[in-house]
Amino acid sequence: MISLSKAEKSYIQAGILGDPPHRSDGRDLHDFRTVALETGVAPLSNGSARLTIGRVLRGGGGTEVLAATKLEVEDMKAGGVDGGRIVCSVTCSPAAYPHLSSGALEDLQYDMTMIINQTLSHPSLHPSNLSIVKGQKSWLLNLDLVVLSDAGNVHDALFMAARAALWDTKVPRTRSIEYKAAAANRSAGGMEIDDASGLDTRQQPSMADFELHDFWDEGEPLEGREVWPVSVTLNLISPMHYLDASAQEEAATPLRLLLAFSFSPSGTALQGMRVLGVGELDAKTVKQGIEDGEKYAREIYTALNAKLKDEDVRRNQKASHRFARR
């Protein structure tokens, strides 16, 4: 979200198209900046993560996203969805986009929210353990993401942070309880009265509720957490593309192709696609972009999974040490 002169844009584009290509930070065209990840950063959430791409310095230098999930009970009668649902929202810190007006910032937040929400709420990704009492109660999973700083490639950072927070999410285990109305022992004026309570029990149906087996911050992982997607953004300067653009590189790049992939034992799925910028793409470029994007996305997916598993080990060790000191 920065403005460059024509000379600056031309210089950046010439470096990328050069032989060999040249980028200001010395990276190859398909290299990512350093990605740092930490989970469990929001103690009052059901799952959380902080992700940075590049080195975040005071006043800029990297892209940083904070993600957190919160579960709340929804009743079907109050508009809930049987089996549960996921709702995503993205908020951008004004400090991340100091040159945008409040209206432009709201538009940016809305656009990012739509991309994340449409992708992650797809039925093929829906976790099976968001149901509490079938047909009556379920979990609403709120996923909130905050862009703290944007030094380029914010969409890939959003998807990685979202995946990390969802991976970290624990769903409390529940047990259904059914209550049935007491038998009527006597009647008064045509009303059935329970002798013990004195309450009207006429035509009282059975009711279902639930009890928790876990504390609010415990539970089981979201089902299918292996398939949450990652995205890769292809920055297009014909006839080539490059990855993980800095803010200056994005300002010099007219078109970007955002691709979101999920991976599972049953295969690879393209979960979302979006063209960012001004211009058009022909079918051949899109097809080649999808083929290349799948390869890059798999590399991101593998590296992110390794970081997430390392985080699981680190937090388990930390919890064990804390327990041992008691």
The average confidence (pLDDT) of the chain is 86
Contacts of residue 302, Cβ cutoff 8 Å, sequence gap at least 6: none
Distance CA 90, CA 110 (A): 7
Structure tokens, 121? 């709420």
Q: At 189, is the pLDDT very low, low, confident or very high (cuts 50, 70, 90)? A: low
ω before 43 within 30° of 0 (cis)? no
Q: Give Dmax over CA atoms of the chain in angstroms.
A: 95
153 found inside a domain: yes
Last residue of a domain, one of 163, 190, 208: 208
Same domain? For 184 and 42 the reply is no
Do residues 201 and 244 share a domain?
A: no
Domain boundary among 160, 187, 208: 208
239 lies in the same domain as 169: yes
Shortest CA distance to 119 belongs to which of 156, 65, 70? 156
Q: Both tokens of residue 274? A: 């979006």
Same domain, 163 and 195: no
- Token pair for 216: 């609010």
CATH number, domain with residue 147:
3.30.230.70
pLDDT surpasses 50 at 204: no
In single-letter form, the type of residue at position 204 comes to: Q
For 190, the domain range is: 175-208
Q: Are 286 and 161 contained in the same domain?
A: yes
Please state the pTM of the whole predicted model: 0.86
Tally Cβ neighbours within 10 Å of residue 267: 7
CB distance 78 to 92 below 8 Å: no
CB 245 within 8 A of CB 258: no
Is 17 in contact with 6 (CB distance < 8 Å)?
no
Judgement on whether residues 242 and 258 belong to the same structural domain of the protein: yes
Residue 1 lies in a domain: no
Q: How far apart are CA 14 and CA 158, in angstroms?
A: 29
Per-residue pLDDT tens over the stretch 232-262: 999 999 899 999 999 999 999 999 999 999 9
**C-alpha angle 279-281-287 in degrees, rounded to nearest 5:** 160
DSSP label of 212: E
Q: Is the pLDDT of residue 188 over 90?
A: no
Q: What is the pLDDT of residue 156?
A: 98
pLDDT tens by residue, 72-113 = 988 877 667 778 899 999 999 999 999 999 999 999 999 999
Q: How confident is the model at residue 3 (pLDDT cuts 50, 70, 90)?
A: confident
The answer as to whether 259 is a domain residue is yes
Tokens (6 digits) for 25: 């930070």
Q: Does 222 reside within a domain?
A: yes
| 236: in domain | yes
Within-domain flag for 159: yes
Residues 233 and 300 placed together within one structural domain of the fold: yes
Residues 287, 304, single domain; the answer is yes
Q: 160 and 242: one domain?
A: yes
Residue 306 belongs to a domain: yes
Tokens of 77: 């009668």
Same-domain check for residues 129 and 271: yes
Would 48 be classed as within a structural domain? yes
Map tokens 């979006």 to a residue.
274
Provide the number of structural domains found in the chain: 2
Is the same domain home to 133 and 273? yes
Together in a domain, 179 and 135:
no
